[in-house]
């Protein structure tokens, strides 16, 4: 499966990618030096809820998610980024980043769909 | 594109700025009659006042600046209201930072200020005193009918993603089957799970957070609503099990009025980690639903594009048959609901009151799925106690518990199938604020339980005065369920379900006919089963004034008899000229609490045609009028002839005596003055001439023996008054020889 994902990513990188969009709230938060961000990751096929997949396809999707997370974290080596949440069933990563990590994420459109703030909720 | 309506993150940037423009109400606020009635009968009442707020309407994506403006405007309006009410006899009960409402206790003068020109008040609502539920809300949604046939959530699990659960609470023990905590710290590496880390899984991991003692009880309260079980009342699915997930961390970003500091907040990523944990247990337990009584930004349509992480995980859960139940939020919006409730695959839930109205604080929008009770909900709190809370947070777990019951009845049902059943069988509730009509869930109907036919045994009161102030009509019978509605002459009324033998309806002043009438009372229960009950009659009577006479002389008494009056504490009867203004009266009789009575009243001295009028509540609205009473002009009584003044007399015992001999003189009918006297004078002598005298005081009659003069001659006795010389009486002559 890892090979399949790599092949897919290779195919995608043949296209021209725009810069990864970043939600305005992230930049606001980064004004204080660091920001909690949720990074939506690109996986080979579109994300499908697990219940709509066969057992094997669900496992493959999890593997693709894991690979996309790993590829993103590898690409962030050398800049300060801390993993906060790493879900197994949905293609996202939650990171604590500084400006240099965000800059690098924005430059990874082949891996990252978009970046938005890890917003908070209150009891209601 | 969804329009973002509200963001608690954006609130972090709030600063108060001067110069905010504030709105004025365009006209007097609407005030329900019940508020006026309460003030008239009790002097004071509690109300919710909606303030004019120009920036609350969604007009595009909400920036931090727009949110700041809104909060500042609301604060300014509250200040205006305070200034307007001054030091009057009112009391601020609750103030809200994010919605333009205040709760007040007011009297008549405060209400007048609210209604006067220039008031910032837009609407005034009754702040209803609601009886503690779950004892009521569970039957209201017909979960009790499901319990009666063994559908109580048994074999199913509700996950509560919240502030933790007190698993030792008697209401909840021992049904917490799995626990986890995902609560990363707002800064630094650690977290606020019991182990001090950002993640903990296992027994005790989801104990109630401790950094905000009041707010951290939220999860325990929510869990009790969904699945609590007790001897006196229970939650919706009292045999369901619970998965407790604690996702709140101690935050310094506390913006809500009167909020604890630090306050509980949950990162989206921590919530999603909790949801993923729940999903990981799906092969271990029959997880019917996840309850999320939490929220952030509000959107006016599905927010999947704005919240892809929530969207992905909630769709994941839905795809494996787990419903994500989310509270719509408490901002009072009618065109927006909070995330994650705005995710299309989530089941969004707004709040209703006990009498089936949309709660004033409840967010709503076209995308809202369901309604459930969310006011005055009494449920478990950490440490073993119970507390009443309001909020869509309380409504959502009603639906989560209902889901467990539904899945017990229909284990293979998908989330969409279950939702369709709740929607199609729910009671439609119109949103009086202008929001959409949405279904309030009926668990019994959703699982196909046939409701009994309602039967009325009696109503109380059965007779009521047309002018009575607001009162509660109690309908006694059998076969009542939470969805049963009382109707008056075929018109359904806002009905409070007390239990399966009692319903109540609050009838406002003026709602009944103003003339004598027989009002038909019936109870209807919607299908499946159900039907309409037998009819009972509510007799409406009007007060009457009867007079003992319709033709009297001026000032003569008339006896007035009052019957079938409302019996208010400040009612009164006036005597007024026929045709005169309501405010005109000659005399009056004030009385208290007298539905009937009799009084004798002296009619006016001025001739004319008069009537007796019944006024209520120290007012000038005429509730009843007597027959006219004509007061006739009377001939003056002739002056009685004065009694002739009695004439004083002097009588002598003899008219011929020897010189110096005694004569007895008797006085009668004298005035009896203190200084009268008798003189013995020669006949024909001057008034001032006398040869002897007798002085006496206060004697109207009496006798004295007087020795006559030694000088022969003819004498007489004279009566003089007041030491004077006017002769009041003279005796016969007495010859001395």
Percent of chain A as helix, strand, coil, to the nearest 5: 40, 25, 35
Please write the tens of the pLDDT for every residue from A40-65.
999 987 899 999 999 999 999 999 99
Q: Once rounded to an integer, what is the mean pLDDT over residues B583-595?
A: 84
Do the beta carbons of residue B277 and residue B245 sit within 8 Å?
Answer: yes
Q: Once rounded to an integer, what is the mean pLDDT over residues B514-532?
A: 93
Query: In this predicted structure, which of B119-133, B320-334, B426-440, B613-627 has the lowest mean pLDDT?
Result: B119-133
- Beta pairing class for B662-668 and B649-652: antiparallel
Please list, residue by residue across B275-302, b when 16 or more beta carbons sit within 10 angstroms of its beta carbon and e when fewer do: bbbbbebbeebbbbbbbbbbbbbbbbbb
Contact A84 B268 (CB under 8 A): no
Residues of A at the B interface, defined by Cβ within 8 angstroms:
25, 28, 36, 38, 40, 47, 49-52, 82, 84-85, 87-92, 94, 113-114, 116-124
Contact A121 B265 (CB under 8 A): yes
Which uninterrupted H or E stretch holds B387? strand B385-389
Whether B159 shows a pLDDT value over 80: the answer reads yes
pLDDT for the residue B16: 24
Whether B645 shows a pLDDT value over 70: the answer reads yes
User: How many CA atoms are closer than 13 Å to the CA of B353, on its beta-carbon side?
Assistant: 18
Whether B672 shows a pLDDT value over 90: the answer reads no
Q: pLDDT confidence of A15, banded at 50, 70, 90? A: low
Sole residue written with tokens 């609502």? B125
- Beta pairing class for A81-85 and A92-97: antiparallel
Query: In this predicted structure, which of A73-87, B408-422, B483-497, B634-648 has the lowest mean pLDDT?
Result: B634-648
Q: Once rounded to an integer, what is the mean pLDDT over residues B395-413?
A: 98
Sole residue written with tokens 């559908």? B151
Query: In this predicted structure, which of A3-12, B155-164, B165-174, B445-454 has the lowest mean pLDDT?
Result: A3-12
Chain A interface, best mutation among B189, B279, B312, B396, by max A CB count within 10 A? B312
Give the chain B residue whose CA is nearest to the CA of A93.
B269
pLDDT for the residue B131: 40
pLDDT for the residue B593: 77
Spell out which residues of chain A touch residue B319, defining contact as CB-CB under 8 Å: 49-52
Q: pLDDT confidence of B64, banded at 50, 70, 90? A: low
Return d(Cα B264, Cα A107) in angstroms, integer.
35
pLDDT for the residue B12: 25
Among the listed residues A123, A121, A122, A115, the one whose alpha carbon sits nearest the alpha carbon of residue A42: A115
Farthest CA pair distance, chain A: 47
DSSP β-bridge partners for residue B473: B505
Q: Which two tokens stand for residue B124?
A: 């005034």
Return d(Cα B574, Cα B618) in angstroms, integer.
11
Active site residue B393: yes
State the catalytic residue, choosing from B147, B218, B221, B398.
Answer: B218
Whether B25 shows a pLDDT value over 60: the answer reads no
Report H helices in B213-290: 218-227, 268-280
pLDDT for the residue B128: 54
Q: Once rounded to an integer, what is the mean pLDDT over residues B466-483?
A: 90
Q: pLDDT confidence of B97, banded at 50, 70, 90? A: low
Q: pLDDT confidence of B35, banded at 50, 70, 90? A: confident
Do the beta carbons of residue A115 and residue A96 sit within 8 Å?
Answer: no
Please write the tens of the pLDDT for every residue from B300-348.
999 999 999 999 999 999 999 999 999 999 999 999 999 999 999 999 9
pLDDT for the residue B85: 86
Query: In this predicted structure, which of B94-98, B132-136, B632-636 has the lowest mean pLDDT?
Result: B94-98
Contact A123 B8 (CB under 8 A): no
Return d(Cα A5, Cα B16) in angstroms, integer.
51
Whether B30 shows a pLDDT value over 90: the answer reads no
Whether B268 shows a pLDDT value over 70: the answer reads yes
> B268 and chain A: CB distance < 8 Å anywhere?
yes
Which of A84, A90, A118 comes nearest B316 by C-beta?
Answer: A90
Q: Which two tokens stand for residue B547?
A: 């007079």
Do the beta carbons of residue B726 and residue B720 sit within 8 Å?
Answer: yes
State the catalytic residue, choosing from B37, B127, B162, B367.
Answer: B162
Q: Once rounded to an integer, what is the mean pLDDT over residues B397-401?
A: 98
Q: Residues of chain B with pLDDT > 70: what percent? A: 92
Which uninterrupted H or E stretch holds B246? strand B241-246
- Direct distance between the N- and C-terminal alpha carbons of chain A, in angstroms, rounded to an integer: 43
- Beta pairing class for B347-352 and B370-373: parallel
User: What is the signed CA dihedral for A42, A45, A51, A52, rounded to 10 degrees?
Assistant: 150
> B297 and chain A: CB distance < 8 Å anywhere?
yes
Q: Once rounded to an integer, what is the mean pLDDT over residues B515-536?
A: 95
Q: How far is A88 from chain B (nearest CA, A)?
A: 8
Contact A120 B266 (CB under 8 A): yes
> B414 and chain A: CB distance < 8 Å anywhere?
no
Residue A112 phi/psi, 5° resolution? -115, 130
Do the beta carbons of residue A74 and residue A110 sit within 8 Å?
Answer: no
Range among B399-403, B497-501, B638-642 rated most confident: B399-403
Q: Once rounded to an integer, what is the mean pLDDT over residues B714-736?
A: 93
Q: Is pLDDT larger for residue A119 or for residue B50?
A: A119
Q: Classify residue A65 by burial, with Cβ atoms within 10 Å: 0-12, 13-18, 19+.
A: buried
Do the beta carbons of residue B486 and residue B472 sit within 8 Å?
Answer: no
Q: Once rounded to an integer, what is the mean pLDDT over residues B675-687?
A: 92
Active site residue B221: no
> B68 and chain A: CB distance < 8 Å anywhere?
no
Whether B395 shows a pLDDT value over 90: the answer reads yes
Spell out which residues of chain A touch residue B320, defining contact as CB-CB under 8 Å: 49-51
Q: Dihedral sign, CA of B715, B721, B724, B728? A: negative
Among the listed residues B259, B340, B332, B237, the one whose alpha carbon sits nearest the alpha carbon of residue B292: B340
> B2 and chain A: CB distance < 8 Å anywhere?
no
Q: Dihedral sign, CA of A124, B1, B5, B11? A: positive
What mean pLDDT, rounded, does chain A reach?
87
Contact A121 B295 (CB under 8 A): yes
Evaluate whether ipTM surpasses 0.85.
no
Query: In this predicted structure, which of A92-96, B416-420, B468-472, B582-586 has the lowest mean pLDDT?
Result: B468-472
> B66 and chain A: CB distance < 8 Å anywhere?
no
Provide the edge-to-edge strand list for the sheet that holds B662-668: B649-652, B662-668, B702-707
> B293 and chain A: CB distance < 8 Å anywhere?
yes
Within its chain, how far is the Cα of B235 from the centroid? 29
Do the beta carbons of residue B217 and residue B244 sit within 8 Å?
Answer: no
Contact A121 B339 (CB under 8 A): yes
Which of B263, B270, B316 comes nearest A50 by C-beta?
Answer: B316
Contact A52 B319 (CB under 8 A): yes
Q: For residue B313, what are the contacts with CB-CB under 8 A and spacing of at least 6?
A: A87, A89, A90, B272, B275, B276, B279
Q: Which two tokens stand for residue B607?
A: 């001739």
pLDDT for the residue B550: 93
Looking at A1-124, which runs of residues are DSSP E strands? 35-41, 81-85, 92-97, 112-117, 120-123
pLDDT for the residue B20: 31
Whether B100 shows a pLDDT value over 80: the answer reads no
State the catalytic residue, choosing from B7, B348, B393, B681.
Answer: B393
pLDDT for the residue B127: 65
Q: Once rounded to an integer, what is the mean pLDDT over residues B659-672?
A: 92
What mean pLDDT, rounded, does chain B reach?
88
Give the chain B residue whose CA is nearest to the CA of A94.
B269
Among the listed residues B163, B180, B296, B170, the one whose alpha carbon sits nearest the alpha carbon of residue B218: B163
Output Rg (C-alpha) for chain B, integer angstroms: 45
- Pairs of residues, one from chain A and one from chain B, whose beta carbons lie less than 8 Å apart: 125
- Beta pairing class for B557-563 and B587-591: unpaired
Q: Once rounded to an integer, what is the mean pLDDT over residues A79-100?
A: 96
Q: Once rounded to an integer, what is the mean pLDDT over residues B131-136?
A: 61
pLDDT for the residue B95: 64
Contact B297 A119 (CB under 8 A): yes
Among the listed residues B415, B299, B370, the one whose alpha carbon sits nearest the alpha carbon of residue B141: B370
Which of A52, A114, A122 comes nearest B8 by C-beta?
Answer: A122
Return d(Cα B441, Cα B421) in angstroms, integer.
9
Q: Classify residue B428 by burial, with Cβ atoms within 10 Å: 0-12, 13-18, 19+.
A: exposed
Q: Classify residue B270 by burial, with Cβ atoms within 10 Å: 0-12, 13-18, 19+.
A: buried
Please write the tens of the pLDDT for every residue from B72-92.
787 788 888 888 888 777 877
Q: Is pLDDT larger for residue B29 or for residue A69?
A: A69
Output Rg (C-alpha) for chain A, integer angstroms: 15
Q: Dihedral sign, CA of B677, B679, B684, B686? A: negative
Which uninterrupted H or E stretch holds B81? helix B64-85
Q: For residue B732, what are the contacts with CB-CB under 8 A and spacing of at least 6?
A: B651, B652, B655, B716
**What 3-state DSSP class applies to B413?**
coil
User: How many CA atoms are closer than 13 Å to the CA of B532, on its beta-carbon side?
Assistant: 11
Do the beta carbons of residue B127 and residue B390 sit within 8 Å?
Answer: no
> B119 and chain A: CB distance < 8 Å anywhere?
no
pLDDT for the residue B646: 80
- Name the pTM for this structure: 0.69
Q: Once rounded to an integer, what is the mean pLDDT over residues A97-120?
A: 95
Q: pLDDT confidence of B685, banded at 50, 70, 90? A: very high
**B308-319 and B268-280 helices, crossing angle to 10°:** 10
Query: In this predicted structure, which of A1-10, A96-105, B85-94, B165-174 has the lowest mean pLDDT?
Result: A1-10
Which uninterrupted H or E stretch holds B445? helix B443-446
Spell out which residues of chain A touch residue B278, defining contact as CB-CB under 8 Å: none
pLDDT for the residue B130: 41
Whether A9 shows a pLDDT value over 60: the answer reads no
Q: Which two tokens stand for residue B444?
A: 């019994």
Do the beta carbons of residue B392 and residue B362 sit within 8 Å?
Answer: yes
């Amino acid at each position: 499966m890892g090979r399949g994902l790599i092949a897919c990513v290779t195919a995608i990188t043949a296209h021209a990618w725009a810069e990864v969009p970043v939600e305005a709230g992230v930049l606001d938060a980064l004004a204080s030096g660091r920001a909690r961000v949720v990074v939506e990751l690109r996986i080979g096929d579109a994300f499908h809820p697990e219940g709509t997949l066969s057992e094997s396809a669900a496992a493959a999707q999890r593997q693709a998610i894991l690979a996309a997370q790993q590829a993103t974290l590898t690409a962030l080596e050398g800049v300060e980024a801390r993993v906060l949440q790493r879900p197994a069933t949905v293609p996202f990563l939650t990171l604590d980043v500084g400006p240099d990590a965000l800059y690098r994420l924005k430059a990874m459109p082949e891996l990252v769909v978009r970046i938005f703030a890890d917003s908070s909720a209150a009891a209601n | 594109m969804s329009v973002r309506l509200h963001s608690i993150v954006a609130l972090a940037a709030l600063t108060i700025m001067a110069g905010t423009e504030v709105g004025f109400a365009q006209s007097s606020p609407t005030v329900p009659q019940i508020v006026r009635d309460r003030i008239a009968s009790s002097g004071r009442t509690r109300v919710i006042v909606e303030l004019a707020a120009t920036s609350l309407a969604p007009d595009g994506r909400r920036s931090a600046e727009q949110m700041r403006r809104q909060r500042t405007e609301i604060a300014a309006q509250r200040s205006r209201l305070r200034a307007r009410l001054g030091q009057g006899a009112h009391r601020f009960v609750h103030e809200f930072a994010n919605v333009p409402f205040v709760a007040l206790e007011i009297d008549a003068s405060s209400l007048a200020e609210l209604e006067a020109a220039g008031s910032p008040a837009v609407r005034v609502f009754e702040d209803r005193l609601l009886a503690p539920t779950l004892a009521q809300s569970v039957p209201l949604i017909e979960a009790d009918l499901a319990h009666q046939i063994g559908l109580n959530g048994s074999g199913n699990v509700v996950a509560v993603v919240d502030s933790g659960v007190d698993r030792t609470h008697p209401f909840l023990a021992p049904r917490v089957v799995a626990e986890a905590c995902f609560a990363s710290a707002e800064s630094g590496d650690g977290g606020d799970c019991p182990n001090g880390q950002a993640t903990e899984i296992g027994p005790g991991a989801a104990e109630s957070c401790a950094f905000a003692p009041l707010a951290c009880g939220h999860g325990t309260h929510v869990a009790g609503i969904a699945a609590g079980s007790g001897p006196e009342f229970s939650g919706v699915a009292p045999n369901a099990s619970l998965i407790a997930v604690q996702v709140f961390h101690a935050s310094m970003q506390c913006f809500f009025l009167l909020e604890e500091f630090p306050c509980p907040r949950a990162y989206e990523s921590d919530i999603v980690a909790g949801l993923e944990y729940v999903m990981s247990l799906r092969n271990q337990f029959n997880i019917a639903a996840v309850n999320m009584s939490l929220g952030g930004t509000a959107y006016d349509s599905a927010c999947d594009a704005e919240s892809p992480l929530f969207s992905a995980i909630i769709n994941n859960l839905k795809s494996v048959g787990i419903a994500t139940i989310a509270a719509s939020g408490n901002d009072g919006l009618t065109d927006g609901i909070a995330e994650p409730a705005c995710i299309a695959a989530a089941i969004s839930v707004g709040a209703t009151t006990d009498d089936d109205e949309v709660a004033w604080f409840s967010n709503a929008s076209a995308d809202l799925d369901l309604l459930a009770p969310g006011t005055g909900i009494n449920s478990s709190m950490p440490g073993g106690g119970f507390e009443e809370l309001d909020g869509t947070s309380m409504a959502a777990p009603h639906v989560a518990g209902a889901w467990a019951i539904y899945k017990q009845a229909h284990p293979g049902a998908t989330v969409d199938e279950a939702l369709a059943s709740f929607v199609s069988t729910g009671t439609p509730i119109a949103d009086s604020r202008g929001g959409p009509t949405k279904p309030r869930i009926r668990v019994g109907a959703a699982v196909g339980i046939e409701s009994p036919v309602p039967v009325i045994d009696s109503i109380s009161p059965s007779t009521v005065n047309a002018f009575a102030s607001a009162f509660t009509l109690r309908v006694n019978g059998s076969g009542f369920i939470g969805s049963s509605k009382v109707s008056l002459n075929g018109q359904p009324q806002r009905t409070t379900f007390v239990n399966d033998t009692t319903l109540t309806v609050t009838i406002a002043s003026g709602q009944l006919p103003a003339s004598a009438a027989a009002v038909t009372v019936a109870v209807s229960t919607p299908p499946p089963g159900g039907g309409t009950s037998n009819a009972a009659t509510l007799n409406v009577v009007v007060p009457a004034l009867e007079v003992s006479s319709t033709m009297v002389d001026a000032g003569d008494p008339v006896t007035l008899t009052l019957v079938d009056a409302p019996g208010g504490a400040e009612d009164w009867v006036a005597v007024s000229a026929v045709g005169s203004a309501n405010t005109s009266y000659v005399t009056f009789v004030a009385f208290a609490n007298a539905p009937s009575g009799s009084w004798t009243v002296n009619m006016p001295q001025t001739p004319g045609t008069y009537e007796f009028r019944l006024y209520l509540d120290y007012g000038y609205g005429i509730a009843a009028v007597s027959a006219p009473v004509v007061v006739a002009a009377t001939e003056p009584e002739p002056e009685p002839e004065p009694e002739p003044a009695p004439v004083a007399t002097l009588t002598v015992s003899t008219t011929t005596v020897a010189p110096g001999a005694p004569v007895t003189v008797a006085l009668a009918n004298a005035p009896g003055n203190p200084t009268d006297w008798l003189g013995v004078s020669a006949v024909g002598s001057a008034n001032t001439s006398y040869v002897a005298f007798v002085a006496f005081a206060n004697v109207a009659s009496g006798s004295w023996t007087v020795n006559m003069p030694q000088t022969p001659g003819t004498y007489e006795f004279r009566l003089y008054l007041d030491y004077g010389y006017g002769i009041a009486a003279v005796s016969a002559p007495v010859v001395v020889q």
